[in-house]
Structure 1
Amino acid sequence: MFFKVFLAIIAFTVARVYAETHVVTFDNRCGFGTPTLRAQNGQVLSTGGAVTINGPLIGAIAYLQTGNCGANGERCTLIETTLRNPPSPGAGSSTDISLIPPHSFSVTSGFGYFNGCDGAGADCTNANCPTAFHVSTDNQVQVACQVNNVNLVITFCL
């Protein structure tokens, strides 16, 4: 019995040490609008506050809801992100800015990783920004991070 309890305590401790978490925060400098973070299934994860994700965050989108954006950020500058601990080399987190129609430039927007890959990110300050997807083949604008438990800050009105 003692041995089983000991193994359970060790397993719990190891699981806590290796648990995957990611924090997404917003820095809305616009003075208007509602920062919105949606999961791939459409669930709203945040409307401005920091959110901690326990596990990977796959295919999430973020935008500043100004009253003109659709439910999935249509007509607005879109930030797309996957935050996950790399299951294999090169398969970790990736974030980008999208202006692929029906998305379009609405406010200056940017993102940056922290707690790993610090300084990696991108800003979009106009409709022609070279750091955004304009067509689906603009893969060079994706910003990857291969660090466990990396976090993301999304900024509006840089």
Structure 2
Amino acid sequence: MSTKMFAAVVSALSALALVAAETHTVNFYNKCGYGTPVLRSQSGDVLSQGESYTSDGALDGAIAYLQTGGCGDNGESCTLVEVTLTNGWSSADISLISPHEFSVASGFGYWNGCDDSGTDCSSADCNEAFHDSDDTTVQVGCSADDVNLAITFCD
């Protein structure tokens, strides 16, 4: 293969890699009239305080909650939304596993793929949330690439 041909192939593959880059956005809708939505990474870094957040790559193991003044740094004492957005298999759920507990109605829904998938939890005994670690049926998955998530509080 000639040098020019090799350079053309490498250039084409590089362009395809850029087109196939993974990206995901999380939007917040706070209908409570109080509090601040918080999105934290798995390492505890604050990624968003209510504004939309876009990841250039997978968003693995993030958590979201409405900080009303009574939530711990990792959403303790509040309703928690757990999020993993990755091409091929994304998953989100609502957790009320201690030390998390119901604080405000919370829900989520996918967009830009799996548009009719999501869930809401409007009370402490909602069946749509994790109450113990065996409640795996409450996870809502999506296999679409570049899927996004909308999280709503007090809907």
Partner of 1:11: 13
1:39 corresponds to which residue? 41
After superposition, where does 1:44-63 map in structure 2 within 5 Å?
A: 44-63=46-65
Residue segments in structure 1 that go unaligned for 5+ positions in a row: 87-91
Matched residue of 1:12: which SS? Answer: helix
In the other structure, the counterpart of 2:86 is 84
**2:35 and 2:10 mapped to 1: Cα distance?**
48
Give the Å deviation of 1:101: 0.5
Equivalent position of 2:66 in the other structure: 64
What is the Cα deviation at residue 17 of structure 1? 1.5
Q: Distance between the aligned counterparts of 2:54 and 2:13, measured in 1? A: 23
* The one of 128, 131, 147 aligned to 1:131: 128
Offset of residue 11 of structure 1: 2.2
1:111-150 correspondence to structure 2 within 5 Å: 111-150=108-147
Structure 2: segments with no counterpart, 5+ residues: none
Alpha-carbon deviation of 1:9?
2.3
Please list every run of at least 4 consecutive aligned residues from structure 1 whose deviation after the TM superposition is greater than 4 angstroms.
none
Amino acid of the structure 2 residue aligned with 1:146: S
Q: Which moved more, 1:64-73 or 1:13-22?
A: 13-22
How much does 1:4 deviate? 4.4
Separation in structure 1 between the aligned mates of residue 123 and residue 37 of structure 2, nearest angstrom: 19
Work out the CA distance in 2 between the residues paired with 1:2 and 1:46.
46
CA distance in 1, matches of 2:105, 2:11: 49
CA offset digits 1:59-90 (Å, max 9, x no partner):
1100000010000000000000111012xxxx
Number of residue pairs matched? 153
Counterpart CA distance in 2 for 1:148 and 1:36 is 24
Q: Give the TM-score normalised by structure 1.
A: 0.93
Q: Find the aligned partners of 1:43 and 1:37 in 2 and give their Cα distance.
A: 9
Distance 2:59 2:83 in 1: 8
Residue identity opposite 2:98 in structure 1: P
Give the SS at the match of 2:91: strand
* CA displacement at 1:47 relative to structure 2: 0.5
- Counterpart AA for 1:63: Y
Normalized against structure 2, the TM-score is what?
A: 0.95
Q: Which amino acid is 2:138 matched to?
A: V
Question: Distance in 2 between the 1:16 and 1:45 partners?
Answer: 24
* Residue in structure 1 matched with residue 27 of structure 2 by the alignment: 25
Counting aligned pairs with the same residue, the percent is 58
